């Protein structure tokens, strides 16, 4: 009977490998801690076999699986304790050793598990509308994004986050109900104009020593929060609303032709980004003297005027419409509508020289079609009626002048040397008198 009892006890132990009460009694006769606590073998200095090593690293556990049931606060505290022990062990182990590398892997797993418990994933809608924001659920697993509300990193691997399709405001799912900033695109839609005064500061006292956006108490000494000035609005903001981002300020470009990026608040950064390609700057009214000091502006204005003169040829030309020549300017649609409106992006490209190169190339292509490639467009040319000599003239030629009344084209020298009126205008006047 004694042999049979021993055999039964041995079989029971084999059938229940997790019940190690007989093997793992402590020195005081106590039992080992529960399974969910950090295993002491992880922090021992002895070398184990591959199976024990996997268990020591916690790799046998699925740290990324969804937890069953609800976790209590003790689980989070135990994970925090395990993380601290891992940190201490990493510092104690030999540098670049295999055990140190394995412990780092364990630390990463524990941190991901802790983050999952703090922010469990829930089923979220793909589209949410809040304060005129249209938030779309993101599927990217990138960790390089930052929440615009709490300023923390968005861990796309385990956290749900949204981006506004209008102003590109990014935030955690858990931060959405805390948002107080309306969508900047609505401001662009209702008020498409820039602040054209250079840093219009009103003073921190006029703001009652509060952030101009969220009304948080601020001061220049940084207590309780640092006051940061936005170079675009001239107002002061807290560190949550002003991240020291930089952007080119339109007022400095128009008045000083200065393109150095300045520090702006988050809302101004998004507003300037959305307004970048909008043609809302009428330079000849805002600062007409700018053309006297910036030669590139004069060159671009001449090219734009020529393109407007070419536009009627393309509209009435079947070959030009089939070739879609005007679509070469689809990114700058205002260039085929007027010659005096500019966007901030236009001015930046003028300063860098990119716009001059691209627009000159387009101008050459357009002129080649009208003067060489298309017979229909060539037939719409002019002959100088003052000298009646020379080749066929076009209004966009550099050596021609156009009558402001009847749009007839003449050699520039002939037009300015002529003391009489335009021959075509004279004929049109006589015809009207005959009809009367």
Measured over the CA atoms of residue 82, residue 84, residue 87 and residue 93, the dihedral's sign is negative
Q: Which residues pair with 282 in a beta bridge?
A: 341
Written as tens digits, the pLDDT of the chain (436 aa) is 444 554 445 444 444 434 444 444 444 444 444 444 444 343 444 333 443 443 344 444 444 443 433 344 457 788 888 888 888 888 888 888 888 888 888 888 787 777 666 655 455 677 788 788 888 888 766 667 888 888 888 877 777 888 888 888 888 888 888 888 888 887 777 777 899 999 999 899 999 999 998 888 999 887 788 999 999 999 999 998 899 999 999 999 999 999 999 999 999 999 999 999 999 999 999 999 999 999 999 999 999 999 999 999 999 888 888 888 888 998 899 999 999 999 999 999 999 999 999 999 999 999 999 999 898 898 888 888 788 777 888 888 888 888 877 888 888 888 777 766 788 888 888 888 877 6
Report yes or no: 329 and 307 within 8 Å, Cβ to Cβ: yes
Count up the domains in the chain and report the number.
5
- Cite the DSSP H helix spans in 316-353: 318-323, 344-352
Q: Say what angle helices 344-352 and 295-315 make with each other, to 10 degrees.
A: 120
Task: Give the model's pLDDT for residue 1.
Answer: 46
Question: Can you give the residue range of the structural domain that contains 403?
Answer: 382-435
Residues 386, 372, single domain; the answer is: no
**Residue 75: which of 109, 39, 114 has the closest Cα?**
114
d(CA 278, CA 272): 10
Residues 296, 373, single domain; the answer is: yes
Residue 169 in domain: yes
Task: Give the model's pLDDT for residue 157.
Answer: 73
Residue 381 half-sphere exposure toward CB, CA atoms < 13 A: 22
d(CA 314, CA 34): 82
CATH for 226: 3.30.40.10
Residue 24 in domain: no
End residue of a domain, out of 166, 184, 202: 184
pTM for the full predicted model: 0.63
Residues 245, 315, single domain; the answer is: no
Residues 375, 387, single domain; the answer is: no
Residues 320, 353, single domain; the answer is: yes
Residue 390 in domain: yes
**Phi then psi for 306, rounded to 5 degrees?**
-65, -40
């Amino acid at each position: 009977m004694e042999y049979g009892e021993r055999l039964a006890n041995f079989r029971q132990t084999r059938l229940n490998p997790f019940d190690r009460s007989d093997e793992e009694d402590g020195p005081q006769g106590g039992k080992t801690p529960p399974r969910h606590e950090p295993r002491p073998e992880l922090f021992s200095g002895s070398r184990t076999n591959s199976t024990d090593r996997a268990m020591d690293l916690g790799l046998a556990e699925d740290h990324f699986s969804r937890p069953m049931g609800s976790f209590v606060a003790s689980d989070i505290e135990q994970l925090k304790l395990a993380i601290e022990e891992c940190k201490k062990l990493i510092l104690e182990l030999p540098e670049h050793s295999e055990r140190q590398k394995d412990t780092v892997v364990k630390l990463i797993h524990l941190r991901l598990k802790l983050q999952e418990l703090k922010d469990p994933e829930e089923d979220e809608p793909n589209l949410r509308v809040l304060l005129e924001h249209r938030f779309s659920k993101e599927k990217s697993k990138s960790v390089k994004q930052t929440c615009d509300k709490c300023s923390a990193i968005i861990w796309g691997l385990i956290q749900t986050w949204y981006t506004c399709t209008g102003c590109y405001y990014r935030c955690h799912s858990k931060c959405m109900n805390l948002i107080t900033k309306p969508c900047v695109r609505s401001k662009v839609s209702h008020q498409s104009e820039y602040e054209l005064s250079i840093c219009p500061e009103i003073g921190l006292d006029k703001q009652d020593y509060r952030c101009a956006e969220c009304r948080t108490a601020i001061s220049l000494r940084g207590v309780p929060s640092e006051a940061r000035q936005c170079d675009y609005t001239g107002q002061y903001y807290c560190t949550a609303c002003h991240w020291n981002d930089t952007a080119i300020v339109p007022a400095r470009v128009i008045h000083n032709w200065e393109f150095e990026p300045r520090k702006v608040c988050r809302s101004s950064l998004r507003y300037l980004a959305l307004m970048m390609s909008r043609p809302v700057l009428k330079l000849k009214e805002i600062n007409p003297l700018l053309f006297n000091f910036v030669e590139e502006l004069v060159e671009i204005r001449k090219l734009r005027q020529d393109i407007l003169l070419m536009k009627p040829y393309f509209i009435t030309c079947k070959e030009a419409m089939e070739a879609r020549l005007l679509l070469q300017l689809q990114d700058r649609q205002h260039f085929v509508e007027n010659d005096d409106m500019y966007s901030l992006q236009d001015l930046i490209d003028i300063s860098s020289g990119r716009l001059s190169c691209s627009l000159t190339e387009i101008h050459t292509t357009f002129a080649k079609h009208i003067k060489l490639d298309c017979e229909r467009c060539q037939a719409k040319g002019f002959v100088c009626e003052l000298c009646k000599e020379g080749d066929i003239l076009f209004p966009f030629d550099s050596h021609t002048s156009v009558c402001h009344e009847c749009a007839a084209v003449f050699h520039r020298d002939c037009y300015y040397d002529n003391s009489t009126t335009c021959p075509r205008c004279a004929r049109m006047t006589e015809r009207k008198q005959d009809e009367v």
